[in-house]
Amino acid sequence: MRPLLYTVLSVILIFPAPPLAAQTEAELDAIAAALEDQVIAWRRDFHEHPELGNREFRTAGIVADHLESLGMEVTTGVAHTGVVGILHGGRPGPTILLRADMDGLPVEERNDLPFRSTATAEYNGETVPVMHACGHDTHVAILMGVAEAMAAMRDELPGTVKFVFQPAEEGPPEGERGGAELMREEGVLTAPDVDAAFALHIAAEVEVGTITYRPGPAMASVQDYRIVVKGRQAHGAAPWMSVDPIVTSAQIVLGLQTIVARNLNITELPAIVTVGKFSAGVRSNIIPEEAELVGTIRTFSAEQRDFVHRRIREIAENVAASAGAEVEVTIPLTSDYPVTYNDPELTEKAVASIARVAGADKVTEVSLETGAEDFSFFAEEVPSFYYFLGGKPVDAPPTSHHTPEFVIDESGLSLGVKTMLAVALDYLRGDTPITEDR
């Protein structure tokens, strides 16, 4: 595959061009087409061999070998298993960061794909199935293709590109740290300092061949929480002798629903307070001593986040007190991501680059996304742009991320390569995107 790509690029770079490595739509089409089979092959390999956060050893090894073969400066073991490849262009210019996340999820895959995952791993002390149920395998494959294309343009490339392959976007195992926040702490945005950061995410609900984005706040801030209600144990036949933590917790669950429904002006910004886990007791005739609630919070501003946190504590503490129970509230528990913010000026320029290679009719601004993304830790520090690549097969119902049925149309991966190249090259070029009549 690499000889074909280098042949394509050598032909492209013969023709007159600005003193830069920016390409027209037709040239980017040729590059993406030359890479398509290899990108799909990488994706299928990663899909068949998924790994959980902070344990992406095989994936990181393949990525590192690839970047080293392209002559990049490669650092491994960043934030546990992260890989960073630095490509220095032959001309002066800015520094950009392109990021792909590598981790899978503890989900059992249910489909008939020939490269379906049958992998298992240990997750928080349990053996679990592992699947790329959010499409991070596609992100890695796309960015490996972009790296190959840009390395072939090295001599004409202005500036520096950091190819960041990140572990643990879905969160590290209990008791560990990881992800973009730890990569940031370990200096991924420095030496050299990053001027702008870019990333994409495959979207199983967005039709293949299309792109969606949002300027400003794009994805939610997220924190998880735990509420432990401590009562008094008793025989199930004598409930009057208990302080029932199950009934108390049930009332807390109902109270939490009023935060969004009655305390927030959701015409301004949406918010979510979800209880995802409610556990208590061991048998039918024992009222237990303790119950546990675990859930997630999604907000779109610091003020909204702080208000929701305060109301969760107030509701839990006051309901518990009214029942004679004690309560412990922990916020955050393991996850604490800021809002994913797309710099408006950078977004405008990046969308223009995407529109010229994807077609303006294929690029759509969308509403706020209540999912969360730890690319937000990079976006807190440098101007950033994060967008969604359609992966839903045409005329097929969408599948949900994080489910056993998750599936994407691989024909969209080529557009991922093409749009990321266009965004990166146009930014490095530093002015209006190139058109066909240059």
Q: 410 catalytic, yes or no?
A: yes
Eight-state DSSP code of residue 294? E
Active site residue: 213, 337, 386, 427, which one? 337
Is 29 strand, coil or helix? helix
Active site residue: 369, 386, 410, 427, which one? 410
Is 322 strand, coil or helix? helix
Tell me how far apart the alpha carbons of residues 188 and 183 are, in angstroms, rounded to a whole number.
Answer: 6
The contacts of residue 7 (CB under 8 Å, 6+ apart) are none
Give Cα 32 distance to the centre of its chain: 23
Q: 176 catalytic, yes or no?
A: no
Residues 298/221, Cβ–Cβ less than 8 Å: yes
Strand pairing report for 211-213 and 384-392: antiparallel
For the record, the structure tokens of 408 come out as 């994407």
Three-state SS annotation for 125-191: CEEEECECCCCHHHHHHHHHHHHHHHHHCHHHCEEEEEEEEECCCCCCCCCCCCHHHHHHHCCCCCC
Residues 138/171, Cβ–Cβ less than 8 Å: no
- One-letter amino acid for residue 408 of the chain: I
Tell me how far apart the alpha carbons of residues 28 and 22 are, in angstroms, rounded to a whole number.
Answer: 9
Calculate the CA dihedral of residues 136, 138, 143, 144 and round it to 10 degrees.
110
Residues annotated catalytic, as ranges: 337, 410
